[in-house]
Amino acid sequence: MNGTGKRDTVVGLFIAVGLLAIAYLSFSIGGINYRGPGGLALTATFDEIGGLKARAPVLIAGVKVGQVTAIDLDSNFRARVSLDLDANLKLPVDSSAAIRTAGLLGDQNIHLAPGAESEYLKSGEEIAYTESAIVIESLIGKFVHNLGLGKKE
């Protein structure tokens, strides 16, 4: 192989590695990843989900154990959130789910707090104890209204 062919091969390999790195970063930042089938499908119902979106992480003690797969309304006009969790996860039936914000202005995710019962949730069941998202705009509006700043005289 002459010098030009060797240089072209090195440049080609460099470009291929660069494209693979860009693809990896795109999938990582976009939240698309494949960790295999979750296996434990649970639902949780909330009065308010704020800015929670599909593919949001589900965490226990800050460790990702699954993700939100779908969000829809139930017959009582409450948000029903479908979760896909690690199949090896043994979650007691009295566990709770809360919608939290990552940091002050970050994305919202679901935090699970395992209960103490000896029975475990099975795939298809619902997490009974939930805590809805806190919507900052609503809190500010109530605060302003209570101060009387929103009244016109």
DSSP string, the chain: --HHHHHHHHHHHHHHHHHHHHHHHHHHHHT-------EEEEEEEES--TT--TT-EEEETTEEEEEEEEEEE-TTS-EEEEEEEETT---BTT-EEEEEESTTT--EEEEEE----SSB--TT-EE-EEEPPP-HHHHHHHHHHHHTTT---
The pTM of the full predicted model, rounded to 2 decimals, is: 0.68
pLDDT in tens, 104-148: 667 889 999 999 999 999 999 999 999 988 777 777 888 787 887
Task: Tell me the per-residue pLDDT of 79-89, one tens digit each, with 9 for 90 and over.
Answer: 999 999 998 89
Q: Is the pLDDT of residue 61 over 60?
A: yes
